[in-house]
Structure 1
């Protein structure tokens, strides 16, 4: 898919701000002429995760075609459509998708948002449709109605947690330990949350992510080791041995890996939607691809961790050589748009950090790999994004 324009990205943000889960597809000139589009990896994953269709279970040929009701959205009207999901007998039976009436609705290379809701696939032309104006319009329109239906949420637990945080924020809290992780451990202890390594959210289904308030810091989404069974390398120790470096008394690999650049260790990421995997690879030809993550597993971790999240910013204070945290602001996100995760990985907005070190006992310790997102990009992944001032 081509890169989004700034206007299309703004429209995408308007939808994600309103809890609209979606995936994107780009009809080509050839596709519109032949009434056919490839069902790309993100589209297949989105349809499956929403319980609409699983191409992996579909047999080839017209007898096994699946048809689902669809709706095409204009400014102030909708047009009923039908979605055809099938795998042709030719070649490998690459998954296909088509919408009746699409040739009159979209131009070649328009970006279409597909929204699975209420048993239908809703099609929004991001290139042409004035999305934000329609959502914010005082006059009811089909898109505004759709968004309002999707956007109903309850905030009882969030309000409870917010009040507890405001109590804690009435005065600076002394740091429990001298470590980077102390800002989170100190807050969880103040809230009465046990410190453990559970992958479940911290407070009644809400994940807490605390950080020192410095501009530009990426935010950690979650940690997830590769699928060692599918990977060339079978452990963090092998990664360290291949790419680590001496730093003082330590042998370590502390680095950020992205899909859009190659780092100083020669490492990069690549999203392969055809096989539904994220791969890390080396520019050393003798190594190439060396570890693999299943995108489905990463989606699952994202949903486990961040169905609802409080991102808590703290100002750090020093008094008599001791660090104190003044918790001051919360950014509240809900329902991550899972289909966006792959796109943001591919565009380098989400990156991966290795934190591997061999200690004095010759034991390899891995604190990651940590998947992180650029701080100003939360609204591309998490809807809605609301901010609460803890000091007022």
Structure 2
């Protein structure tokens, strides 16, 4: 896809502020003439991640074509349309997508935006469409109604969760479920009726919950992500542990923080290579050197998946009869991280990596990370302006 103009970028920023998730596609002159477009990697990812369609499991040929109701927006009007998603018999079945009636609103190399909501595609020409004017119009129009409905639904879920948190806070300090650093989050999720699991999905109807003690200004967890072992010299957490681990009492472990701006006591550091879009972990041992790799694309996807919308919940910790209790007091509500900032914050040492690897008594290696964490001061750099709420 071609580089977006500044005007097109500003339109996307305005939609992002309104909680709109979208995909972009650039029809070519040949594509418009033949009523065919390639479903690019970003479009396929958008469809798959939002559980709309998975080309990977779709058969080739017209008998496997999938059609989805579509509305094409043209200023104050809507064109009712159908989206066709298919893989032809020829050319290895390269994924294709087409919207009937698209030629009425798009020219070659315009950027077309796709929104999926309530079982239908909502399509408009980002290049030509006056997004700001329609959203600010005093006249009711279909596009404004769509954005307000999506935005309102998102706010409804956030308000529902906020009210639940306020109810929990009003009951006073809650005893910790376990004596552990993670208890502040586990106790809150249990109070909310959320099952404790290792899912990579957000915790509550698309909203991620991150809890922390107000007395600690530690780094905050963003997400866990193992390296891409297929691109790495080391092929497992066990190899990392064997190379850099140490004995503590009866355990053989590696608990350390790794940064791009300094080496730690194990001689480990991070290096961002923007040219090949990789984050690389390096050892100062010349016999080891670079030993694991993450692709930036994967890290960006994890960030967007985990933190599309997040409640960062602050709790006051007190001891009552020898048991830690939590009084949940403040929520910071962030939305839509700025992915391009992630790389910068890694490079500046504001986002770091923690290894938490241990070989247990049975000889099995357990890895709780690697955890990507951000300094508290970095939240405002990674996320657009947030909202804060007092729970009491």
Give the TM-score normalised by the residue count of structure 1: 0.62
Query: 1:48 corresponds to which residue?
Result: 48
The reply to whether residue 209 of structure 1 matches residue 210 of structure 2 is yes
Alignment-derived partner of residue 26 in structure 1: 26
1:268–1:282 contact (8 Å) kept in structure 2:
no
- In the alignment, the residues of structure 2 paired with residue 256 and residue 129 of structure 1 have an alpha-carbon distance, to the nearest angstrom, of 44
Aligned to 1:312: 313
Kept in 1: contact 2:11–2:131 (CA 8 A)? yes
Q: Superposed, which structure 2 residues align to 1:1-392 within 5 Å?
A: 1-2=1-2, 4=4, 7-28=7-28, 31-32=31-32, 34-150=34-150, 151-152=152-153, 153-154=156-157, 155-165=159-169, 185=184, 188=187, 198-199=197-198, 207-210=208-211, 220-225=221-226, 233-239=234-240, 254-255=257-258, 265-266=270-271, 309-312=310-313, 329-332=330-333, 353-356=353-356, 366-371=367-372, 375-376=379-380, 386-390=387-391
- How far apart, in 1, do the equivalents of 2:116 and 2:12 lie? 15
CA contact (8 A) 2:229 2:293 kept: no
- The one-character-per-residue Cα deviations of 1:16-43 (angstroms, maximum 9, x if unpaired) are 4444333232334554455432212332
Partners of 2:92 and 2:127 lie apart in 1 by 32
In 1: Cα distance, 2:127 partner to 2:381 partner? 21
Shift of 1:388: 1.8
Task: With a CA cutoff of 8 Å and minimum separation of 6, indicate the structure with the bigger relative contact order.
Answer: 1
Deviations 1:119-170 (A, max 9, x none): 321113333333344334332111111123333335344213135447879x
The 3-state SS of whatever aligns with 1:45 is helix
Structure 1 unpaired stretches of 5+:
174-178, 258-262, 273-278, 317-324
Separation in structure 2 between the aligned mates of residue 237 and residue 23 of structure 1, nearest angstrom: 39
Indicate if the aligned counterparts of 2:38 and 2:97 stay in contact, CA closer than 8 A: yes
Q: 1:71 to 1:252 in 2, by over 3 A?
A: same
Q: Distance in 2 between matches of 1:5 and 1:315?
A: 47
- 1:47 and 1:226 mapped to 2: Cα distance? 25
Deviation at 1:97, TM superposition (A): 1.4
Match of 1:260 in 2: none
| Change in CA separation of 1:271 and 1:103 when aligned onto 2, cut-off 3 Å | farther
> CA 1:229/1:186 → structure 2, altered by over 3 Å: closer, same or farther?
closer
State the secondary structure of the residue aligned to 1:46. helix
Q: Identify if the C-alpha distance between structure 1 residues 239 and 26 changes in structure 2 by more than 3 Å, giving closer, same or farther.
A: farther
Distance in 2 (alpha carbons) for counterparts of 1:308 and 1:136: 24
- Residue 322 of structure 1: aligned partner: none
- Measured on the aligned residues, the alpha-carbon RMSD in Å equals 5.7
Instruction: Classify the secondary structure of the residue corresponding to 2:47.
Output: helix
Closer, same or farther: CA 313–132 of 1 in aligned 2, 3 Å: farther
Aligned length: 355
Q: Tell me the distance in 1 between the aligned counterparts of 2:230 and 2:204.
A: 33
Contact 1:245 1:251 in 2 (8 A): yes
Counterpart Cα distance in 1 of 2:57 and 2:274: 29
Contact 2:185 / 2:211 at 8 angstroms: preserved in 1? no
**Cα shift at 1:218:** 7.7
Deviations 1:162-207 (A, max 9, x none): 35447879xxx9xxxxx9x58x83995799689x974367789965
Could you tell me how far apart the structure 2 residues matched to 1:379 and 1:136 are? 24
Q: What are the ranges of 5 or more consecutive residues in structure 2 without an aligned counterpart?
A: 175-179, 247-252, 261-267, 318-325
- Aligned partners of 2:105 and 2:21: how far apart in 1? 22
Judged with a 3 Å threshold, the aligned counterparts in structure 2 of structure 1 residues 368 and 91 are, in CA distance, closer, same or farther, namely same
